[in-house]
Each structure stands twice: as structure tokens, then as C-alpha cells.
């Protein structure tokens, strides 16, 4: 049975990034945010694997 990839609520993502909601949405508008999942009820989720990949990309960009 495959392992579930947890889907994080936006509040958890903002807490991990230590970022305000408005700053996060500015990042989304610039196309610099982790991949988002929009649910039918308009809530936002981020897959744990997508957030981890985004962190890795940020580390690579900082090292370059």
C-alpha cells in the first residue's frame, strides 16, 4: 500500500515558512510559491512533498 503524502493546511505552511498570509500570496502571484491544491470549498492545501521540494529548490538557488 503506498504511503500517503500529507496535505498541509495553509496555516501550517505559513507557520513553517514564518511568513504572513499576504506575503505568501504575493509570492504566489510572482509564481515563486510551492505548488498549491485548491479544494472545491476554496481552501488551500500543499502536499508535504511539494513543500519539501520547494525548500530544496530555495537552498539550491541560495547556493548558486
Over the stretch 6-36, which tens digit does the pLDDT of each residue have? 999 999 999 999 999 999 999 999 999 999 9
Distance CA 57, CA 44 (A): 21
Distance CA 50, CA 37 (A): 10
Question: In angstroms, how far is the first alpha carbon of the chain from the final one?
Answer: 39
Q: What is the band of 50 on the pLDDT scale with cuts at 50, 70, 90?
A: very high
pLDDT of residue 61: 87
pLDDT of residue 43: 96
pTM of the full structure: 0.87
The DSSP element (H or E) to which 12 belongs, if any, is helix 10-17
Amino acid at each position: 500500500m503506498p504511503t500517503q503524502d500529507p496535505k498541509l493546511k495553509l496555516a501550517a505552511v505559513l507557520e513553517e515558512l514564518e511568513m504572513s498570509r499576504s506575503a505568501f500570496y504575493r509570492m504566489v502571484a510572482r509564481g515563486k510559491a510551492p505548488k498549491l491544491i485548491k479544494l472545491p470549498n476554496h481552501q488551500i492545501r500543499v502536499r508535504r512533498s511539494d513543500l519539501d521540494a520547494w525548500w530544496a529548490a530555495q537552498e539550491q538557488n541560495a547556493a548558486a
